[in-house]
């Protein structure tokens, strides 16, 4: 197989069959993929990692996704909603630590009160940081006018993960109803692009019922959608979710980890100049999981700046790392970890997607 892998990687464009072959490679051949992806990254976005200080502002959610530990019907989840003051204190920490950017993330809520709160927070973040902090938000499906309001208030990047681009698989991991509609999610991604956001999506890797064909299709979905950034990670089961009943269908967790690295590497090869995050979930499996992702194509990392007392409650999956730390602990740790990869940290830089800049020039 080695010769065929070499030939595939020399091609300017990969077919779906090529990608499926690459996803199934053994250790020797997958290292060829990783080496190639590292070169593509260095040539197109450079050997630099950009920080996004992550604020998990609330685990209150109106959705009932079958895989998620903060789903609405999980009565065991300890709900919280960080005060505006605590959020802005975390913002000040990120700014003073020269992070360059931050992420506001929460369970999905749609209401005029929530919309106004986020708008006000975005304006205050801009004011506190003298417009020096870039802002990514990940706040779920919203009407287009809400996306526009938040964009006008200061957010310029938005992450909305599709989780699976196969509608059949999508409805195996979500209820099939108006609140969990596949087409609505796709249309929200279109709205985000229309408004002008740097638009990101992503998928879970290693789901029950998922095939290599599904994963290859996910990569081409992202290519064809012309995304600017991606956050994807391994599926890690949560005991208090409906999907846990299919636990016996899962591949070993180490295989899910390796498959995620392959997906990151292949996405880097296919979409050379986008931003790709090293998901925190990788570190739940491997102590240096995020560093390994950086070495095979990722260029974004999200140090958690959420106040420590809340971190264990934002538990989308089991074994979430760093829940017993404070923001300063995470900063010191990250600097040391990224040093291992050989990349530099883009302190004070927004690290916007180069792909986005090119895409907007073509509009």
Mean pLDDT of 344-362: 93
E runs forming strands in 148-303: 157-159, 198-201, 204-205, 229-230, 233-234, 275-276, 300-301
- CATH code for the domain of 203: 3.20.20.70
**pLDDT of 65-85, one tens digit each?**
999 999 999 999 999 999 999
Q: What is the largest CA-CA distance in the chain?
A: 59
DSSP state of 134: E
Angstrom distance (rounded) from CA 145 to CA 47: 37
In this prediction, residue 322 carries a pLDDT of 62
In this prediction, residue 2 carries a pLDDT of 47
Percent of the chain topping pLDDT 70? 94
**pLDDT of 98-112, one tens digit each?**
999 999 999 999 999
- Contact status, residue 289 vs residue 31, Cβ threshold 8 Å: no
Per-residue pLDDT band for 152 (boundaries 50, 70, 90) equals: very high
Angstrom distance (rounded) from CA 169 to CA 210: 7
pLDDT over threshold 70, residue 328: no
pLDDT over threshold 60, residue 323: no
**pLDDT of 276-291, one tens digit each?**
999 999 999 999 999 9
- Contact status, residue 246 vs residue 235, Cβ threshold 8 Å: no
User: What is the overall mean pLDDT for the chain?
Assistant: 94
Domain span holding position 42: 2-361
Quote the pTM value: 0.95
In this prediction, residue 38 carries a pLDDT of 98
In this prediction, residue 329 carries a pLDDT of 60
In this prediction, residue 1 carries a pLDDT of 44
pLDDT over threshold 70, residue 331: no
Per-residue pLDDT band for 320 (boundaries 50, 70, 90) equals: low
Cα-to-chain-centroid distance, residue 142: 18
Mean pLDDT of 150-166: 98
Overall number of domains in the chain: 1
pLDDT over threshold 50, residue 22: yes
- Contact status, residue 98 vs residue 105, Cβ threshold 8 Å: no
């Amino acid at each position: 197989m080695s010769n065929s892998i070499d030939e595939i990687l020399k091609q300017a464009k990969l077919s779906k069959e090529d990608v499926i072959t690459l996803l199934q490679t053994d250790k020797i051949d997958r290292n060829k993929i990783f080496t190639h992806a590292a070169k593509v990254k260095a040539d197109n976005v450079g050997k630099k990692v950009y920080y996004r200080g992550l604020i998990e502002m609330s685990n209150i959610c109106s959705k009932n996704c079958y895989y998620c530990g903060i789903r609405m019907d999980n009565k065991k989840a300890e709900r919280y909603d960080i005060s505006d003051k605590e959020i802005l204190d975390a913002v000040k920490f990120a700014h003073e630590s020269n992070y360059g950017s931050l992420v506001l993330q929460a369970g999905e809520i749609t209401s005029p009160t929530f919309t106004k709160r986020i708008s006000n927070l975005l304006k205050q973040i801009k004011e506190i940081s003298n417009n020096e902090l870039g802002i990514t938000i990940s706040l779920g499906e919203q009407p287009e006018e809400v996306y526009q309001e938040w964009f006008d208030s200061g957010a310029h990047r938005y992450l909305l993960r599709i989780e699976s681009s196969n509608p059949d698989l999508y409805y195996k991991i979500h209820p099939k109803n108006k609140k969990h509609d596949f087409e609505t999610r796709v249309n929200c991604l279109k709205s985000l692009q229309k408004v002008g956001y740097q638009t990101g999506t992503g998928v879970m890797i290693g789901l029950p019922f998922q095939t290599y064909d599904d994963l290859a299709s996910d990569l081409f979905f992202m290519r064809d959608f012309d995304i600017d950034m991606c956050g994807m990670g391994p599926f890690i089961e949560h005991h208090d979710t409906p999907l846990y009943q299919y636990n016996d269908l899962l591949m070993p967790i180490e295989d899910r980890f390796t498959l995620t690295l392959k997906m990151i590497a292949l996405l880097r090869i296919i979409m050379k100049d986008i931003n790709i995050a090293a998901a925190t979930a990788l570190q739940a499996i491997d102590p240096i999981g995020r560093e390994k992702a950086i070495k095979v194509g990722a260029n974004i990392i999200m140090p958690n700046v959420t106040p420590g007392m809340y971190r264990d409650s934002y538990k989308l999956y089991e074994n979430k790392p760093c829940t017993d730390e404070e923001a300063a602990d995470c900063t010191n740790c990250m600097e040391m970890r990224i040093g291992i990869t050989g990349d530099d940290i883009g302190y004070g830089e927004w690290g916007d997607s180069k792909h986005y800049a090119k895409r907007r020039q073509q509009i």
